[in-house]
Structures are given as C-alpha cells and as structure tokens.
A and B are shown apart, each in its own frame.
Chain A
Amino acid sequence: SQTIHQWPATLVQPVGSPLSLECTVEGTSNPNLYWYRQAAGRGLQLLFYSVGIGQISSEVPQNLSASRPQDRQFILSSKKLLLSDSGFYLCACTGGDRGYEQYFGPGTRLTVT
C-alpha cells in the first residue's frame, strides 16, 4: 500500500518569504498526486493535481505553484507568502492496486506571520 511523506510537519514563515513543501510517495508507480489546503475548521480545497511528471493542473488562481520533478515527488512552492496562505496543506495520491482510492499524507501546518 502507498505511504505518503510530507515535510516539514510545521512551518512558521513571515509574509513575503518563499515556500517549499515537499511530498514523496512510496509503494506505487505513476500515481496521480494532489495538493489540498485546509483552512482552520474548514473543508478541503484542491489546489493542484498531477497525472504525470511535469504535468500540473491548477484548480484555483493564487500565488502558489506546484511541480513534479520525479514520478513520486510533488512540490508546492511560493515566491512570496501572504497571510491568507496559512493553513494545513495535505498531499494525496491515487494509484496502485486500488486506483480509485485516495490516500493522504500527514500534512504540513503553515503559519504565515
């Protein structure tokens, strides 16, 4: 079964600083990968998804970007963070034997000050 790693687990960054969050997947090849953001006490907002290396689809306009340099690596970035970027960022994947099922990483708590 798939295992998803995310780091860092928590991050406090000042407004205007850059961001790089990393997600790696074990246990499956050629997964679909997803970045979600969850504001405090709220549901999930899909930010980006990827069906293959270098293929990124953006769901919402924002100052964030995503990249997939390797099959099982997904990176979320920003050049200049805003206060509104604070939240809980979750990486997820589908693929493997049960291709429809989506599995989540442990998340990164980002606080922009």
Chain B
Amino acid sequence: GEDVEQSLFLSVREGDSSVINCTYTDSSSTYLYWYKQEPGAGLQLLTYIFSNMDMKQDQRLTVLLNKKDKHLSLRIADTQTGDSAIYFCAEIPGTSGTYKYIFGTGTRLKVLA
C-alpha cells in the first residue's frame, strides 16, 4: 500500500533524546523529509536526506536512513519543551513527476519538564 507509517505518540523528559521512527513505502524515493507542526500552525520543514545518504546531522537533529528496510528516523538530542509538536515524515515516490509528497500519519511528541 501507500501508507507511510509512524507511531502516534512519544513522550520524553526534557534533556533526554527523542527518536521518532518512520517506515516509508517506495524504495525508489529520492528525497525523504521531516516536518514539524506546532499547534494551530502549518508544517515547518526541519530537515531532509537524500536516498544516497545513510545519515545526516544538523545541530540537534540526526536523520538515519535504512534503505533496505525503508526505515527513516529522526533523533532530537537534548529535547526541550519547545520541541513538543507533531512530527511528520514524508517521501516523494520515484514515480512522482509533480513532487507529490506522501506524508506519514504524524507522531505527537510530548516533552515533560
């Protein structure tokens, strides 16, 4: 099917690391993205990874890609209360000629003080 899967909820304590997981659908997807949505707001592009990479680090964010298992993860180091939000992974399937993204169901991250 064409479902990009994510767990619905994650709760962590402030200062701990958060790991949000995603299983995508199309092994030919070239670009994979992570978005953040704060309450009542649009989606904010956080980071992305090309399919020819295994890992990408951007300040507190680390993206890991396992192409064999079609598994993508986002690690947030030193999680802060401001990181509380919904996180979406997204892929552009290789067959998409119009940059039609497929979004995951979203993971709601709650950071406990």
Q: Is there an interface contact between A101 and B45, defined as CB atoms closer than 8 Å?
A: yes
Contact with A along B86-113 (1 / 0, CB 8 A): 0010101000001111011110000000
Q: Is there an interface contact between B48 and A44, defined as CB atoms closer than 8 Å?
A: no
Given contacts A43-B88, A43-B104, A44-B88, contact A32 B42 (CB under 8 A): no
Residues of B contacting A107 in the complex (Cβ-Cβ under 8 angstroms) = 40-42
Interface size on B, residues (CB 8 A): 22
Contact with A along B19-36 (1 / 0, CB 8 A): 000000000001101010
Q: Is there an interface contact between A49 and B100, defined as CB atoms closer than 8 Å?
A: yes
CA distance A61 to B111 in the complex (A): 38
Q: Is there an interface contact between A101 and B48, defined as CB atoms closer than 8 Å?
A: yes
Q: With an 8 A cutoff between CB atoms, is A74 at the interface? A: no
Q: With an 8 A cutoff between CB atoms, is B17 at the interface? A: no
Q: With an 8 A cutoff between CB atoms, is A35 at the interface? A: no
Residues of B contacting A105 in the complex (Cβ-Cβ under 8 angstroms) = 42
Given contacts A43-B88, A43-B104, A43-B106, contact A100 B99 (CB under 8 A): yes
Secondary structure at chain A's binding surface: helix, strand, loop or mixed? strand
Residues of A contacting B33 in the complex (Cβ-Cβ under 8 angstroms) = 101-102
Residue positions of B touching A, CB distance < 8 A:
30-31, 33, 35, 40-45, 48, 88, 90, 92, 98-101, 103-106
14 residue pairs bridging A and B, Cβ less than 8 Å apart: A4-B42, A32-B98, A32-B99, A43-B106, A46-B101, A99-B99, A100-B92, A102-B33, A102-B45, A102-B99, A104-B35, A104-B43, A107-B42, A109-B40
